[in-house]
């Protein structure tokens, strides 16, 4: 992934794009009941991340609710709000991948498939034209391996599992947390959004195909 300059967009611009992405994910049913979270790099040296607050309705997320955190997840903005519980996962993905933005959804299809394929440790998606929407993928013959990580409420342990998985699967564009959701990232919010859209589309295709095959036998 190409790394952008240390500061490509201002905090207000980044906050506006994150809140608009949140509202669009909510509208598609990928972030209901205050689930899901979003972040983007504001500065790399020292690391500054714009991130959605914890427990907020993503259908109504406004740009002025987006927080700024440091590399330890401490809030630097002057709000009383708490950053997302999953901040440490966002920080891990930014460090491991040089990502400029990290997005997380809780859709029905990503939740179903993250459980169905847990025994294999991941899910292979291969042969679909839509794979070409993933950064660096040139052909539908690409095989995307989406690792599945066991869920946990211990965020330090979960961040360590995420780090191990990303180092092991250096080509992955995203991963699933079991019975929880999907993470994907990109060089900027627009690319991360595209990756979520592509992966959510493909997960729904895989899930619906399984259902149709089952009902035809
Ligand atoms: Zn989550």
pLDDT, tens digit, 9 for 90 and up, residues 55-83: 899 999 999 999 999 999 999 977 778 88
Distance 34 CA to ligand 1 centre (A): 10
Average pLDDT value for residue range 101-128: 97
Residue 86 Cα to ligand 1 midpoint, Å, equals 7
How does DSSP classify residue 136? T
Separation of 84 CA from ligand 1 center, angstroms?
9
Closest CA to 65 of 15, 27, 105: 15
**Residues 190 and 197: beta-carbon distance below 8 Å:** no
Query: What is the arithmetic mean of pLDDT over 187-201?
Result: 98
Residue 1: pLDDT band (50, 70, 90) is very low
């Amino acid at each position: 992934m190409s790394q952008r300059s240390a500061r490509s967009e201002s905090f207000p611009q980044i906050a506006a794009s994150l809140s608009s992405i949140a509202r669009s994910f909510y509208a598609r049913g990928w972030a209901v009941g205050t689930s899901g979270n979003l972040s983007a790099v504001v500065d790399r040296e020292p690391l500054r991340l714009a991130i959605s607050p914890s427990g907020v309705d993503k259908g109504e997320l406004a740009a002025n609710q987006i927080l700024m955190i440091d590399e330890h997840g401490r809030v630097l903005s002057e709000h009383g709000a708490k950053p997302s519980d999953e901040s440490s996962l966002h920080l891990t993905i930014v460090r491991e991948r040089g990502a400029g933005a990290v997005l997380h959804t809780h859709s029905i299809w990503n939740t179903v498939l993250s459980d169905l394929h847990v025994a294999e440790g991941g899910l292979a998606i291969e042969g679909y034209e839509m794979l070409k929407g993933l950064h660096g993928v040139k052909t539908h013959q690409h095989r995307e391996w989406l690792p599945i990580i066991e869920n946990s409420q211990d965020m330090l342990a979960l961040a360590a599992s995420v780090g191990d998985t990303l180092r092991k699967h250096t080509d992955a564009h995203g991963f699933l947390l079991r019975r929880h959701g999907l993470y994907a990232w990109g060089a900027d919010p627009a690319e991360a959004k595209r990756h979520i859209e592509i992966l959510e589309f493909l997960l729904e295709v895989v899930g619906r195909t399984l259902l149709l095959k089952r009902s035809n036998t």
